[in-house]
Structures are given as structure tokens and as C-alpha cells.
Structure 1
Amino acid sequence: MTGLRHALVTGGGSGVGRAIAHALADAGMEVTICGRGMEALEAAAKEYSRLHPIAADVTDAASIASLYKQAELERGAIDVVVANAGIAISAPAAKVSLEDWKRTLDVNLTGAFLTVQPALSGMMARRSGRIVFIASTAGLKGYGYVAPYVASKHGVIGLMRALAAELARTGVTVNAVCPGYVETEMLERSVERIVEKTGRTPDEARAGLMACNPQGRFIQPEEVGSVVRWLCSDGSASVTGQALSISGGETW
């Protein structure tokens, strides 16, 4: 990965973000991981000497500015930004509160923009960089009972395409990775909500979610990490503006 030395991964303390951070560290990068709580970040950092935790809130521009200032002071310019932090709230559309709607878009869409914006000028000046948004198959199709999440992830795909078009001649690539259901803590919370609201058993709830994947399985976090690592490699230099579905054939 010529010239790419320092990566930022939001939501890097658990699940998909943690797997991405591990994959980039394995590729030789120093990886700044951020999230709102230091406990999970510090636990992840203990596993890899190349992982460096900093607490930050992706919905707060001042917090992100502070994150960049500290990370770049300690480890140099950020060459790779992976906007992974996100939340999901489940409810029938008719019952979604305005607060939950705004919170979901604030974290998933505005937070993604605030995460990458500070990196743009430096990347363009260096004519090198990688921006990867972790979206979802929900950015490529519709799902019931998660309207704010679907809307926010469609917005992330639009943001990615706009930035890819704007930066196409700068040497900076911009892509999105769109996983289906990934076997993480977030998935377990989805299972718990299904059990609570439908009376199904946990196994029945998991089977229902797994059925969305034509391969009949859940995506593993390490698979997403591998795709992000490839998008940051020299071999992906001509790949930009793409929404890559990691879903066993659910979407394309």
C-alpha cells in the first residue's frame, strides 16, 4: 500500500469497525480508532500495537476536529478514512419519532460527512488517499421497519458518489462497502428486538434474518475488513464511486 501509512476508522472498538482496523493494521498501517467510549477502544487496541484509541463523537464537528488534530500530531497525516460508525433503530414508519429519525441521520449520514470532510484538502494536496464508507445493503434496497436507517444509508451512497465524482482526478478514491447482515453485536441486538416484539425464539429470529442471504449465512466481520483492505491497496486505484455489496448475492 504505497504511501498509505495512517488510517482512521470510526466505530473501531467493536464489530465491523474492529475487524477493519485489524485488517488495516495487518497491512502495515497505523490505525486511529475512535468511538464515544474508551473502554471498548482500549480493549481493541490491546490486541494490536498499531491501533491507537481516541474518544470522539462523529456528530460533533468540534470533536472530530480535535480527533484529527491529536491523531495527525501523533502519527502524521491521515491517508485513509473509513466512516463506519452507525446506529439502527427499529419501528414501524408510522411510529418513528422525529427524535429517532434525526438521531439516525445525524449519526449515519451527517456523521459520515463530518468524519471525512477534514481529510479532503490534505488528500487532494498529496494527490493520494482512500475514503471508504461502510454503508449497508439498506443503502441499495428497502427494508421494512427501519425507515430512518434505510434513508440514512441511501444518503451515504449518494454522498460517496458525489465525492467520487468530485475527486476523480485527484488520486483519491471514494467507495462504499454494503454488507448484508453481519454477525456482530448489532445483529444480536436486532435478534433481541425481534424476540421481544414477535415472540419468536432467538433461533427463529436468527433464521429469519439469515434467510435474506442467498448463501444462507451471516457475513463475518473479517470479510468486510478484507474488502476494505483491498480498496486501500494499490490494485484498487481505478475503483472509485462504487457501492460494493457484500451480501451473498442479496443485492448487486
Structure 2
Amino acid sequence: MLTGKHALVTGGGTGIGLAIAQTLASHGAEVTITGRREGTLQAAESQRIHGLVMDVSKDSSVVDGVAAAVAARGPIQICVPNAGIAEGRSLLKTDMDFWRNMMATNLDGAFVTIRECLKTMTKTDWGRVIAVSSIAGLRGLQGAPAYSASKHALIGLIRALSADYATRPYTFNALCPAYVDTDIVIQNTSSIMQRTGLPEDEARKLMTDLNPHGRLVTPQEVAEAALFLCGPHSGSVNGHALQIAGGEI
């Protein structure tokens, strides 16, 4: 289905990003995955998956990285800004460094990635931008105002772009998963254990129970939603924030 298409997935070495990259590659796309850790990227590489060291929080790194990907594999027609930080901190404990770092990665990184990819995408006759936001982008996540704000803003960016390009063959959508079974859940479990003294299973259960269907979302469930948005009958799906959250409203 995607033979001849070049996809770029930021944060593509692990978790949701890797699942999306593998799924797109399995349907014929050439996929550039980016991240800050070369070893992680190399471990994820395959015949159609190609690693590229890039730090989305740094404008010049994204500009140079996207240019290198285009030079190697042609125009980017599927752009997946996925790289992000998921960390909670109450407002009164949020200093400017924490806030700026959250925005630089989750929002600024997505903005620059999309901007640079669009420079080549819009020279082709088809394109998809699929941003990985969060259920926190649709409702406030308790204890995580900076994270929630960054993910709300990302959805706003996607909706504005969908309006800008509504009459052209490019769509812009956001995926909004609830708690997903990735390394971030492992890290958050450890943090909860340290703060509360709860054993591992109970700390993990606190997150699982927040998903209405009583389990963690799998990375593949998110990846299949991304694949649908690249499918042959997805052209009228534009400007949406697609919940992958087990019934979350």
C-alpha cells in the first residue's frame, strides 16, 4: 500500500514510534526513524527502517536531519512527529526550565519537524501528517499541567494546518492514546513507587485503572490507527484528534 512512500518518524527507536515505523515499513514504506541515541536507532533498523540521530528540541538539528533524510530517500510524504516527554509535575513545582524543556520537545519539536517535512511533501501529490498527542491533549491530566498544555497546543497546530491545506491532497491528524504499554509507563511506575512507597504492581495499576477498559493500550493499536490514516480511503479524515483510549471521553 505504501510502496514508494518515504515516512519520517521522530522518536522512532522505541515504543509507539517504533511500532508505527515497523507497521509502515511492513506495508512498503521507506521509513526514517530519528532519536537522540544512536545505539537505540541502530537496534531498530531493518531493510526499510533507517536510523538518523536528531534532537527535536534543537531547531538546527531538525533542519539538518530532515534535509539529510530527504537527500537519502526522497521527499517525505508521511510525517509522524512522535518524539515527546511525558512527565508530571504540579504547577507550583514547575520552574521555567521544566516548562521550556517540555514545550521545546513536545510542541516546538513537532512544529519544526512538520514545517521541514512540508517543504518537500507539498512538492508531491499526496501527504499525511500524523502527530502523536495524548488523551491529555483533550482533557487536563491531573498533576501534569505543562504536559497537558503541550499536547493541547499540538492538537491546535494540527487543526490549524488541516484548515490551511483543506483543499489540497494532504491531511493533518493527531493520535490521542491513553496510557500505553511503553518504557514511559515503566518510568512512571518507578516514580510512583518512589513517591508513594507502593509496590510495583499497585503503582502500575494506578495507571492501568485510568484507562476505561482496564488495561494499557498497546503500541500496535496506535500504529494501526496511523496506518489507517495513510490508507486509500482516509482523505476525508482531516483535522481530527483520534482517541485510542478504551472509551475515554
Cα deviation for residue 124 of structure 1 reads 2.5
1:124 aligns with 2:106: no
- Mapped partners of 1:137, 1:36: distance in 2: 25
Deviations 1:80-99 (A, max 9, x none): 00000000222221111110
Cα deviation for residue 2 of structure 1 reads 6.1
AA aligned to 2:79 is V
Cα deviation for residue 4 of structure 1 reads 5.6
After superposition, residues 37-52 of structure 1 pair within 5 angstroms as 37-45=37-45, 48-52=46-50
Cα deviation for residue 16 of structure 1 reads 0.6
Contact 1:212 1:250 in 2 (8 A): no
- 2:65 is matched with 67
- 1:214 is matched with 212
Cα deviation for residue 77 of structure 1 reads 0.8
- Mapped partners of 1:4, 1:110: distance in 2: 29
- Mapped partners of 2:4, 2:197: distance in 1: 49
- 1:19 is matched with 19
- 1:248 is matched with 246
Contact 1:89 1:100 in 2 (8 A): no
Return 5+ residue gaps in structure 1 as ranges. none
Out of 127, 132, 135, which is 2:133 matched to? 135
Cα deviation for residue 74 of structure 1 reads 1.2
- Mapped partners of 1:155, 1:201: distance in 2: 35
Contact 1:4 1:80 in 2 (8 A): no
- 1:9 is matched with 9
- 1:198 is matched with 196
- Mapped partners of 1:127, 1:155: distance in 2: 28
Contact 1:181 1:219 in 2 (8 A): yes
Deviations 1:37-63 (A, max 9, x none): 111000001xx3100001001122211
Coordinate RMSD, CA, aligned: 1.2
User: TM-score, structure 2 length as denominator?
Assistant: 0.97
AA aligned to 2:6 is H
Of 141-150 and 238-247, more deviation after overlay is shown by: 141-150
Change (3 A) 1:4 1:215: farther
- 1:175 is matched with 173
User: TM-score, structure 1 length as denominator?
Assistant: 0.96
Deviations 1:133-164 (A, max 9, x none): 00000000011111110000000010000010
Work out the percentage of aligned pairs sharing the same amino acid. 42
Change (3 A) 1:81 1:205: same
Question: Alignment partner of 2:122: what SS?
Answer: helix
Contact 2:2 2:24 in 1 (8 A): no
Deviations 1:8-42 (A, max 9, x none): 00000001101010010011000000001111000
